[in-house]
Structure 1
Amino acid sequence: MTERTGVLVVAEHDNASIRSATLCTVTAALQCGADVHVLVAGHGVQGAANAAARIAGVSRVLVADAPPLAHGLAENMGAQVMHVAARYSHILFPATSMGKNVAPRVAALLDVAQISDIVRVVSADTFERPIYAGNALVTVRSGDPVKVATVRVTSFDAASPEGGSAQIEAIDTVSDSNLSTFVERHVAKSERPELADAQIVVSGGRALGSSERFDEVLTPLADRLGAALGASRAAVDAGFAPNDWQVGQTGKIVAPQLYIACGISGAIQHLAGMKDSKVIVAINKDPEAPIFSIADYGLEADLFDAVPKLVSSL
């Protein structure tokens, strides 16, 4: 039986480059073991593979390049990870849509327990992860022969994207499972920073009242600050903002340098997605709003008056 050594990071990429979530996952991987490999799977991924080879701390890049992997379908991706899984003691995914889609399938195929959303590596077999919407941390020790985990990327600094010189190895690819079929992808195009990577985020809640008011009030502030736009689940459910702007337990986890919450009461699910932000500014006319309990700066005011004044003074 092959001895399991090393740590495998399953990369998130756009074929030409490596996403920042992968860099944070590499940092977690280096805390699990010294020999870190990165799997770049897709179709036409040589650019991403070259970028992965330059990541500091990575010793080898495995490249699986084939049409069945082009769209990241979980069934095919899971099978591709399983193709190399016997080599590794740890298989780590960023806790993004991609990672959350593929990791459970890999864990099931390996018959091990997935460790979700780790925020700290205590040792090679022990991890911390949040529970109760981030209000408590639990320490998990795994006795499984291979640890399959998703990494909360906001809890780890990004590894340096330059300085490495990993060997690139082309590996055999899996055939199409025919269990699912890619239909189409709708990509929202924006000049704004990606929400998960943005250094400044301006978010709005249901108090904005409509998508028109959301755009009218918050867009000028985001434009002035060069910020990404976010929203609470209530605002998304009401149709005021698109789904990919949702911040929270069931949306995106963000940790920008500055988070401005406008008309957001601070439900526990939303706080779980943004409370690690370096500076939190809350604007709400309800003095009892829970958001004020975690805000560094709180302004008790009507956002329809306060935000335009803030924009005019910037």
Structure 2
Amino acid sequence: MTTKKTPAKSAAASKRRVTKPAIYDASNEELISFYRTMLLIRRFEEKAGQMYGMGLIGGFCHLYIGQEAVVVGIQSALKEGDSMITGYREHGHMLAAGCDAKSIMAELTGRSGGCSRGKGGSMHMFDPEKGFYGGHGIVGAQVSLGTGLAFAAKYRKTDNISVAYFGDGAANQGQVYESFNMARLWNLPVVYIIENNQYAMGTSVNRSSSEIELFRRGESFRIPGKQVDGMNVLAVRAAMDDAVKHCRDGNGPFILEMKTYRYRGHSMSDPAKYRSKEEVQKMRAEHDALEQVKKILLDSAIMDEAALKDMDKEVKALVADAASFAQECPEPDLSELYTDVLA
């Protein structure tokens, strides 16, 4: 009789212990702010999806629905002067950074009032005044640029840090590891955020990665990392506080793997047939980021149902106003083809 051997990856993973970060002790005002920003992102993305279906948004469109806790928790730990850079699923990142919803929606529709003057679209937004150095369409390309932003912060002798977001799919790109090496070699103040929504463009991380605990990807470069419940904004904030302190204290880079989940397909053209409806519903029912904070607000009597409904109405009105602005704003003049080519 032969016994079935446990796969090496599973055996190794079973021996590992993931240190769970503390839960951030948020004030009532912070809890309300976290909830409102996540709600704004959720309602904005729902509207963007609707407008895409109506043909008002062209090209690719990657929605952030389900992942709101990641960027809201991280952004709340930053200060003015810090920089952030991400991939092409960036509408939520811009909103969390305080960018104007009208300019974001106008960019989605390719209008002159957009944050990239209507020339970037969904994947290439930019607002350096808010510390947002762009969404980037090339998978993993932003990681090297985010490392460069950290180099600039150190070269200028500031205490600013850089935050570079990328996904579980981009975690297998070569330039990521070149960036890790330089960041650790030069002790750069950069926090690498791996938004592990578990499916990349449609392939489960379990099928595409030999090391599925992505926060360990920096170990050979001596970069510490943590895995975090990316559906819990308070866990995200607590972990980010630790990472920020690590960087500002001059200890070099840090990796945070956010275990999160997108409810929609990879992009609007993705039917997401690689996972079951039951799986998505289970995540929504048991782990939804907004519902977790909503429960705290209600259970602690910080807000009641009426106040929450009023907030939702206010946010929906703001998003509707942004959508109207985006449709009424003129398209860029042809002369804009020759501007913003080189800074």
Q: Please give the range of the TM-score, normalised by the shorter of the 2 chains.
A: 0.3 to 0.5
After TM superposition, the score normalised by the length of structure 2 is: 0.31
* Structure with bigger RCO (C-alpha 8 Å, 6+ apart): 2
Name the one with the larger strand percent.
1
Name the one with the larger helix percent.
2
